[in-house]
């Protein structure tokens, strides 16, 4: 394995750090590496062509008072595949906040669990104010560029999807919204459009927009809500965007006092808003459903007069029934991070545009979340989703489940005790002939061997285990959201003789 050190972060974390989400599987990385000639167990399929990108929270400084795992600095990992070979690279996202704190050698912004008064730098709400915009939540590829984002509405940081070199922030020719962009913007492969939303504490509380295939802001509208909300995801079909008003949001009486305390309001329904993809805010139709919070949707499509929307229903959004197995000082804060605490199950809502009625059903009794699909079927009828199972009590993925939504069949693979995965992306094989014709890619963190691997599964036989295990140069910190970009969508991918040359390794 040929490894090049690209850079190092100046970290002030203690060597004996025992914070439950800065140690063990979440031990942060400080070194940026590039590697090729990676050791492979099995064989990398020759028709696996493209890059797997994964973002994660990776703190380099202690919190001002109380660290929450969503506060860490963004770090992106890329594993690229071409002609049966693989390369690896990891880089910190060069956010304004990361650079400022590197210069100061300390944390400057208050985190999710901290009082705004504790911050050295704060002005306003969210990632453009009291919190550092870590750009550590999500990553997508649009118009040939990787975009990282933050769940509390910040910038979109642009990266070269092969080298992870910083390309600055999205500006959209000066039209980037003052309210920022939330994590989980959606890319429609069929149109090349990027659909997004943002939210905040000021009326109208929610906005929705569309960026076209040429990276120009083509549409941006107000979507009025009854008050400040905390939406985390959205969905789309061929003709519609689906937004949400979930009944988990800040307690209004405390918000008026400047305290950001989120609570579930079970007396209020879940509201799902449907509007034409280029429609105005006054065209939104709201559908009511059983009270819950939806962290992630899987997909949506049109079926006659109905919008079919799939996502993960939480039976216990505050995780009150969950048990945090670590230091009980942290129990109240972290119990709602585990899938078993929130009781997340695959669910379907049918929104009838003719009658205004909502029908809903549970699609699985299994506790899963972070469902991924073949992106070529996003917004269209589909059959399969590949979701994560969770380590009890922790924000860790201990396996994956392939859900067949037509038959209800579930196919499972568990990584093994002490081994934890990332969100599993679907990589259609070159010349793919169907939805389930390709590979699954994920990164694992193995506490037993102090090692990380990139695993490649055949989508058609998940339970058989990985067809290839690619050894990475360092045990990486546990992480979540990921994406797959085919080589054909990456500028310069075929200009180099081999993938190592494409990222400057040889």
Lowest-pLDDT range, 1-10, 274-283, 490-499? 490-499
Whether the pLDDT of residue 381 is over 90: the answer is yes
> Which pair of tokens denotes residue 88?
């690896």
Find, among 264, 269, 273, the residue nearest to 290 by Cα: 269
Q: How far is CA 100 from the centre of its chain?
A: 25
Positive or negative, the CA dihedral 198, 62, 325, 387 is positive
| Three-class secondary structure of residue 264 per DSSP | strand
Instruction: Name the one residue in this structure whose structure tokens are 């099995």.
Output: 42
> What token pair was written down for 221?
């509208």
User: What is the C-alpha separation between 369 and 400, in angstroms, rounded?
Assistant: 9
Give the integer Cα–Cα distance in Å for 17 and 7.
Answer: 22
What is the pTM assigned to this prediction? Answer: 0.96
pLDDT, one tens digit per residue, over 309-359 is: 999 999 999 998 888 888 888 787 888 899 999 999 999 999 999 999 999
| Tokens representing residue 409 in the block | 């069949």
Q: CA-to-CA distance for 505 and 497, rounded, in angstroms?
A: 12
Quickly name the fold that domain 2-502 has.
Neuraminidase (2.120.10)
Residue 300 has pLDDT above 90, yes or no: yes
Q: How far apart are the two ends of the chain, measured CA to CA in Å? A: 13
DSSP code of 428? E
Give the dihedral sign, CA 301/306/308/309. Answer: positive
DSSP state of 296: -
Q: 441-478: per-residue pLDDT in tens? A: 999 999 999 999 999 999 999 999 999 999 999 999 99
Cβ pair 353, 305 in contact under 8 A: yes
Total residues found in the chain within this entry: 506
DSSP secondary structure code for residue 377 in this structure: G
């Amino acid at each position: 394995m040929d490894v090049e050190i690209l850079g190092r972060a100046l970290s002030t974390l203690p060597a004996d750090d025992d914070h439950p989400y800065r140690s063990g599987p979440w031990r942060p990385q400080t070194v940026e590496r590039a590697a090729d000639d990676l050791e492979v167990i099995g064989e990398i399929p020759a028709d696996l062509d493209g890059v797997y990108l994964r973002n994660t929270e990776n703190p380099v400084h202690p919190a001002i008072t109380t660290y929450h795992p969503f506060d860490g600095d963004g770090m992106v990992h890329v594993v690229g595949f071409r002609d049966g070979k693989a390369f690896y690279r990891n880089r910190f996202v060069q956010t304004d906040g990361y650079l400022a704190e590197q210069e100061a050698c300390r944390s400057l912004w208050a985190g999710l669990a901290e009082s705004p008064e504790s911050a050295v730098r704060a002005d306003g709400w969210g990632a453009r104010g009291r919190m550092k915009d870590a750009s550590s939540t999500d990553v997508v590829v649009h118009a040939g560029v990787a975009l990282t984002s933050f769940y509390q509405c910040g910038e979109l940081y642009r990266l070269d999807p092969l080298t992870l070199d910083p390309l600055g922030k999205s500006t959209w020719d000066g039209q980037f919204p003052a309210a920022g962009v939330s994590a989980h913007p959606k890319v429609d492969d069929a149109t090349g459009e990027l659909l997004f939303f943002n939210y905040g504490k000021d009326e109208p509380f929610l906005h929705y927009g569309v960026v076209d295939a040429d990276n120009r802001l083509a549409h941006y509208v107000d979507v009025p809500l009854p008050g400040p909300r905390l939406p985390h995801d959205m969905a789309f079909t061929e003709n519609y965007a689906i937004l949400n008003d979930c009944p988990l949001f800040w307690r209004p009486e405390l918000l008026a006092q400047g305290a950001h305390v989120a609570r579930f309001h079970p007396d209020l329904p879940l509201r799902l808003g449907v509007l034409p993809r280029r429609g105005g805010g006054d065209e939104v139709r709201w559908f009511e459903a059983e009270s819950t919070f939806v962290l992630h949707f899987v997909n949506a499509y049109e079926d006659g007069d109905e919008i079919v929307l799939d996502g993960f229903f939480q039976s216990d959004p505050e995780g009150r029934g969950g048990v945090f197995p670590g230091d009980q000082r942290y129990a109240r804060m972290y119990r709602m991070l585990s899938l078993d605490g929130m009781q997340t199950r695959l669910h379907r809502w049918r929104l009838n545009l003719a009658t205004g009625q909502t029908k809903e059903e549970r699609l699985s009794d299994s506790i899963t979340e972070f469902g991924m699909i073949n992106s070529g079927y996003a917004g269209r009828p589909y059959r399969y989703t590949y979701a994560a199972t969770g380590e009890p009590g922790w924000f860790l993925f201990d396996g994956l489940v392939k859900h067949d939504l037509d038959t209800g069949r579930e196919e499972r693979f568990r990584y093994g005790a002490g081994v934890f995965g990332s969100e599993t992306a679907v990589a259609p094989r070159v010349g793919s002939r169907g939805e389930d014709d390709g590979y699954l890619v994920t990164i694992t963190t193995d506490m037993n061997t102090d090692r990380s691997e990139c695993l490649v599964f055949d989508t058609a036989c998940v339970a058989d285990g990985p067809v290839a295990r690619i050894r990475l140069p360092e045990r990486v910190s546990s992480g979540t959201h990921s994406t797959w970009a085919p080589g054909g969508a990456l500028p310069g991918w075929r200009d180099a003789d081999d993938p190592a040359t494409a990222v400057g390794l040889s």
